[in-house]
A = this chain, B = another copy of it.
C-alpha cells in the first residue's frame, strides 16, 4: 500500500491544500479569547430564524458559502461537500447541503467531525477523484442542549465537569495545485471505551480515544510531540486535557507547551462554561479561525489537529451503556508562500 503509513495513518502525497476557510460563531463565543479571529460573530443566536435548529443550518450554510468565496470559487466548481453535525440524523448538514445542489457525503463522528471530514475530503482530493471538496460542520448550544440534556426553559444547573456546546460552524475548502496550507497525513481513530458513563463528563470519556490516536500517529509517522508547533485536541475541555496529558505521560509521551485543546481555549475563565467548549462547532470554528490564521502568520508551521468525539446518544445512556469515544487526526503543514509580505 503506497499511501498507508504504519497501522492507522495515511499519507497525502499530493498535499491537498486548504484554499479557503471560514468561521462563524455565536455572541458568547464572540466575547471569548478568539473574538478577533472569527470571521463572523452573530448578534443574536437565532440568526434571524424562527428556531435554533434553523439558525444552526443557516450558520453552516453561511460558513460553507463564505469559505467557497474565500477560495475564489463558484459553487459550480465544488465537486463534493463532506460534513455532519450532532443533531439526530445530521439534519443540519443534510438540509444545508440541499441548498448547494452539489454531491454530498454525510458523516458522523460527533465532535470529531471536522477532522473526519478533512480526512475523507483530503482522500478524495489527494487521489484525484474530485478537485474541490468542502469540509464543514457546526453546532448550536441551544439545539444540542435540548436534544441531549434538558429543555432550555428548565434552566437546569450544570455540574462542574460539564462543558458548553459551542454555537459555531467552520468550513474548509480543499483543492490540489493551489496555494494554501496542506493536509499531509490523516490518522483514523479506533472506537475506545474506558467505561465512563457520566454524560456530564465528556472529557474523561473522550481522553482515551485521543490517547489512542495520538500514540498511533506518533508511532506510524515516527514523530514525537516535539515535531509539532501545535498539537490540539478537539474538545476535551480542561479536565479531559489533564487526563489526556496524564495518560500520555504514562505511555512515555510528554505533551508540553505545544499542546492545547480547542474546548479549553475557546472561552475565557470568567465565562462560566466550567470545563470549556464542546460540540463539533468548537474545533471547527477554532481551526478555521485562530489556528489557520496563526499558520498564515508563521507562528505555527506544523499542526496536529486531533478532534475527539463522544459516541453516545440519549438512548444509549438511558439503556445504561457506557460512552465510547473516537478521535481522528490530521496533520496540517504551513505553506511558506502564504502570508509573506
Contact = CB atoms under 8 A, between A and B. Distances in A.
Q: How many copies does the complex hold?
A: 2
Contact of A95 (B51, B98, B101, B316): B316
A90 interface: yes
Contacts of A321: 91, 95
Contact of A88 (B88, B101, B107): B88
A190 B315 contact: no
A47 interface: no
Interface in A234-287: none
Interface string A184-224: 00001111110000000000000000000000000000000
Contact of A108 (B2, B106, B326): B106
A4 interface: yes
Interface in A125-159: 126-131, 147
B193 A98 contact: yes
Contacts of A90: 108, 311
B104 A107 contact: no
Contacts of A116: 105-106
Interface residues of A, number: 60
B190 A87 contact: no
A80 interface: yes
A68 interface: no
A335 interface: no
B1 A129 contact: yes
A311 B94 contact: yes
A103 B188 contact: yes
Interface string A313-330: 111100101001010000
Contacts of A1: 128-131
A214 to B, nearest CB: 14
A89 B88 CA distance: 6
Interface string A99-132: 0011111111110000010011001101111110
A41 interface: no
A86 B108 CA distance: 12
Contact of A123 (B94, B129, B311, B314): B129
Nearest to A80: B188
A313 B89 contact: yes
A96 to B, nearest CB: 9
A317 B53 CA distance: 12
B127 A123 contact: yes
Contacts of A312: 89, 91
Nearest to A97: B191
Contacts of A189: 103-104
A108 B107 contact: yes
18 contacts: A3-B129, A4-B79, A8-B103, A86-B89, A88-B314, A89-B313, A94-B324, A95-B316, A98-B191, A103-B188, A103-B189, A105-B119, A106-B109, A106-B311, A123-B129, A127-B127, A127-B129, A147-B315
Closest 4 CB pairs of A and B: A127-B127, A103-B188, A94-B311, A89-B313
